[in-house]
Copies of this chain bind each other. A is one copy, B any other.
Amino acid sequence: MPKVTPKPTTIEHVDLDVLENTLSFYIRTMNIAVSRDLDERLEGYDVARGTGKITTLLLVDSHPGIRPSVIAQIIMKDRSAMGRLIDQMIEHGLLTRQTSERERRAHELFVTPKGAELAATIRPIVTEQSKDFFSFIAEEEQAQVMDILRRAYRKMVGMTGEQH
């Protein structure tokens, strides 16, 4: 039975019902806020808005020749969403795409000079944004949350073992 508190007119008197103890609620809500903040910081750059463009650019930059399907797995999108993301980034002159010689079904992605420059530009912005946005959480707690979510994420996408 939910506790009933009638007509709260300010947020301070509101109880979140079962969502109070629901991790997915906090993940989903924090996502809205952190994504909005990130978009503001990236205003004007070709990677603002939506999830995936930043990851795609940085991955192609540091893994020349990476395949769309590998990136899709990392950002949890399907191949069709991935394709449109890449089309858009190619139109913006950030990436190029070519058929793999060893696997003629597959594509290989590369950054253009413009893409490489943008990657270098946003790398510190993305890092700073996360630090700043979560700065009201103690640094060791940030690290704790990140450590746990990182392990969860790795299991989920099938990254086994350590990368470092």
Contact = CB atoms under 8 A, between A and B. Distances in A.
Contacts of A25: 55, 126, 130
Contacts of A76: 29, 32-33, 36
A150 B24 CA distance: 11
A19 B58 CA distance: 9
A26 B155 CA distance: 13
A5 interface: yes
How many copies of this protein are present in the complex? 2
A121 to B, nearest CB: 12
Interface of A: 2-12, 14-36, 38, 51, 54-55, 58-59, 61-67, 70, 73-77, 103, 106, 108, 119, 123, 126-127, 129-130, 133-134, 136-137, 141-142, 144-146, 148-153, 155-161, 163-164
10 contacts: A2-B123, A14-B59, A16-B55, A17-B61, A21-B146, A27-B27, A32-B75, A32-B76, A33-B76, A136-B155
